[in-house]
Structure 1
Amino acid sequence: MKALRPLLFAGLCLSVSVPPIAAQTTASLPSPAQTETPAQPSDGEVSVAALEKKRDETRAELQDLSRTISLSTDKAQAIEQTIASLDKSSASIRQALIESASRRKEFDAKIRDSEKKIATMRVKEDGIRASLRERRGVLAEVLAALQRMGRNPPPALLVTPEDALASVRSAILLGAVVPGMRAEADALMADLHSLATLQVDALVEKNKAADAMAASQEEDRRMQLLLAENDKQNKVNSADLLTERRRSEELASKATSLEGLIRSLEGEISSVRDAVEKARLEEERRKQLSDSEREKARQLADSGVPDKNRIAPAYPFASLKQKLDLPVGGDVLRAYGDPDGTGHSAKGITVASNAGAVVTAPADGLVVFAGAFRSYGQMVILNAGDGYHIVLTGMEKVSVRQGKFVFSGEPIATMGEKRVASATALALETDRPTLYIEFRKDGTPVDSKPWWTEKETGRARNDS
């Protein structure tokens, strides 16, 4: 670009005088191919820091937008009528809950995808704007040269003999200058077109996110009604429930470790103890089945319609490797074995999600604990059978109770607005709500990675 400036200056002076050395100058002039246009960053070249900053800004913008979206009266009534006409059996309600939670997670995934696309577009937009600012001086010279030549054009070739030499010199100089100016003009047009395209695409993506947020609101309302119906189907004596809750809180306040908490809960809380014993007996019964009966049970489970009234996991937990979905959609910020910010290695994984995201049970399991535990926020502990426990912490609201058996994919909690300050969230460079997930086998933490599907593991690690 700098090499082009003498040419542009010469163009400005063209009508006044053409230096005899113009022909020599042309030898060092840049051709259109030599005129460089700053390359725009591709998806892979976008700065991670710049992208994260834009994602934070876009996330805040979309959250503000979601607050302006409200569920219409007609849609609310339609949802209520749908729930009212639903078969009120426990199995039907829980299946509807699982399906509703799945849709909610799909909408959340669409919102996150739009959020990332918008952020990437805005980083590229900033790059184009910066490139245009850097070339402002050169572009001004191009426009000035064109304007000057328009006011006082060089002489034509077929004129009087005294103008012939000036015409030749002008033609030589213009032959060198015009291609350079054309290259700059083409580059400018390409950048402006890219800028306009990015702005249109960002608007389209924002509208997609708004549609997904509206649909998510509808699904959230449906889920609330289904949870209320589910509670009606699982009425428990309120006095007994209050007594157990107080006892659980007392045990949680005294526990010095998760292992100790789980052991005391499964031994001293009657609803949990009874449910664990029933599940154990059911597992023992299954082991006594004949080969043909076991094969029939396996085929039923593999058909995707296992017994909705079951009180024990449909599958042995050890057989579920590479089959589980993450309980919440988002980005894995810390994996098992990573530094945990306290000088130790992480015993679980930490997933950053969006505000209000639904948390589902990753596998069948008995709710051993559901409530606040120290600084971890709300915690849910599931007994998944085979000596395995799943620990989930960092939620804002829990929608299950102790002693209840939950199915894989069933909603059990929702995330809050911000990250819960806890030991598991130390040194995390995010304010997003984070879910901590820990798998335990016979009281010892184990790496959960082998259990997640390839889609979940790959997406989570790539998006982080």
Structure 2
Amino acid sequence: GNLASLQAASAAEKAGLTTTMTNSLEEERRMDLLLAENEKLSRSNTAELNAERQRSEELAGKATSLESLVASMESEISSVRQATAAARQAEENRRLLTDEQRAQAKALADSGVPDKNRIAPAYPFGELKAKLELPVAGDILRQFGDADGTGHEAMGMTLATNPETVVTAPADGLIVYAGAFRSYGQMIILDAGDGYHLVLSGMETMNARQGKFVFAGEPLAVMGAKRVASATALALETNRPTLYIEFRKDGKPVDSRPWWTAKDTGKARNDS
């Protein structure tokens, strides 16, 4: 019997090896197919993204105001339209939560554990007063309502930053537009929910993608080495890079000051 059982064991081992090899070949083939599929997807995604980017630029060229730009992005650009619809639905669902569920969601959001599957802000934007961090460290040159140097009042705030400073998202939101727009230069529009849009401009390079939901503190862009000539920066006596920030509620500019944390709301430093 001993020899027979050895032979049986060896045959079983061989069979096992064959199975393992077949399986690993199968696995490899599956991986190859998956990779090919992914590449095809990313190629078509890239093509779609490029087509969307081109279309966005065309629409931005035709838009005469920020409202019309936002409206055309939300209606004509499918990635933005779908993401906006999903965010609105999530917002609606949040309104239907019981007090207990709301308290749980608040505890979770407060714990700092980011819910990476979120597609809408954790809090209604109106509740974030005195909670937001400025997108860059810098000196406030001009506040909302200050004379803007062209005989009008500034619709937003302007900060002088250091060269190559990273610009982060001031709040959770959906990127509705990222690209050049009229006299603003490079611009990002963030839909923060609750009827609020946050506008950032004056950056040099952007790594923000339209239709993407971003979290507060996520890097969106980088400032250049010096001031970018734009309407909002022209009358400023500085050659430092300047970031312009405008908050809009239902299409109308509002003062962003109540939203920044206390350490960020120091008075404008243009009088020192």
Q: Are 2:57 and 1:249 aligned?
A: yes
Gaps of 5+ in 1: 1-231
Secondary structure of 2:209 counterpart: coil
Deviation (angstroms), 1:461: 4.2
Task: Name which of structure 1's ranges 454-463 and 288-297 shifts more when overlaid on structure 2.
Answer: 454-463
Q: Are 2:207 and 1:428 aligned?
A: no
Q: Between the two proteins, what is the percent identity of the paired residues?
A: 71
Q: Distance in 1 between matches of 2:114 and 2:127?
A: 16
Deviation (angstroms), 1:398: 0.4
Q: Are 2:94 and 1:286 aligned?
A: yes
Q: Distance in 2 between matches of 1:463 and 1:402?
A: 38
Q: Which residue of 1 aligns with 2:77?
A: 269
Q: Which residue of 2 aligns with 1:416?
A: 224
Q: Are 2:264 and 1:456 aligned?
A: yes
Q: Which residue of 2 aligns with 1:258?
A: 66
Deviation (angstroms), 1:459: 7.2
Amino acid aligned to 1:452: W
Secondary structure of 2:144 counterpart: coil
Which of 188, 197, 201 matches 1:380?
A: 188
1:340–1:426: 8 Å Cα contact kept in structure 2? no
Q: Which residue of 2 aligns with 1:219?
A: none
Q: Which residue of 1 aligns with 2:252?
A: 444
Deviations 1:210-254 (A, max 9, x none): xxxxxxxxxxxxxxxxxxxxxx9x957011101110110001111
Q: Which residue of 2 aligns with 1:302?
A: 110
- Cα gap change, 1:244 to 1:254, in 2 (>3 Å): same
Q: Distance in 1 between matches of 2:268 and 2:142?
A: 10
Amino acid aligned to 2:200: L
Q: Distance in 1 between matches of 2:95 and 2:262?
A: 30
CA-based RMSD of the aligned residues comes to 1.8
**Which protein is bigger by CA-based radius of gyration?**
1
2:143–2:268: 8 Å Cα contact kept in structure 1? no
Q: Are 2:130 and 1:326 aligned?
A: no
For 1:213-252, what aligned pairs fall within 5 Å after superposition?
237-252=45-60
Secondary structure of 1:424 counterpart: coil
Return structure 1 stretches of 4+ with deviation > 3 angstroms: 459-464
Amino acid aligned to 1:407: F
Q: Which one has a larger percent strand, Structure 1 or Structure 2?
A: 2
Q: Which residue of 1 aligns with 2:207?
A: 399
1:376–1:420: 8 Å Cα contact kept in structure 2? no
Deviation (angstroms), 1:271: 0.3
Q: Are 2:163 and 1:355 aligned?
A: yes
Task: Considering Cα pairs closer than 8 Å and 6+ residues apart, tell me whether 1 or 2 has the greater RCO.
Answer: 2
Q: Distance in 1 between matches of 2:271 and 2:85?
A: 41
Secondary structure of 1:425 counterpart: coil
Deviation (angstroms), 1:437: 0.2
Deviation (angstroms), 1:340: 0.8
Q: Which residue of 1 aligns with 2:6?
A: none
Which of 74, 98, 119 matches 1:311?
A: 119
Q: Distance in 2 between matches of 1:439 and 1:459?
A: 18
Deviations 1:263-302 (A, max 9, x none): 1111111000000000001111111112211111111111
Paired positions, count: 232
Amino acid aligned to 2:126: A
- Cα gap change, 1:311 to 1:335, in 2 (>3 Å): same
Q: Which residue of 2 aligns with 1:340?
A: 148
Q: Distance in 2 between matches of 1:389 and 1:308?
A: 22
Q: Distance in 1 between matches of 2:154 and 2:205?
A: 24
Q: Which residue of 1 aligns with 2:15?
A: none
1:381–1:390: 8 Å Cα contact kept in structure 2? yes
Tell me the TM-score normalized by structure 2. Answer: 0.82
Tell me the TM-score normalized by structure 1. Answer: 0.48
Amino acid aligned to 2:176: V
Q: Distance in 2 between matches of 1:380 and 1:460?
A: 24
Secondary structure of 1:263 counterpart: helix
Amino acid aligned to 1:266: E
1:337–1:346: 8 Å Cα contact kept in structure 2? yes
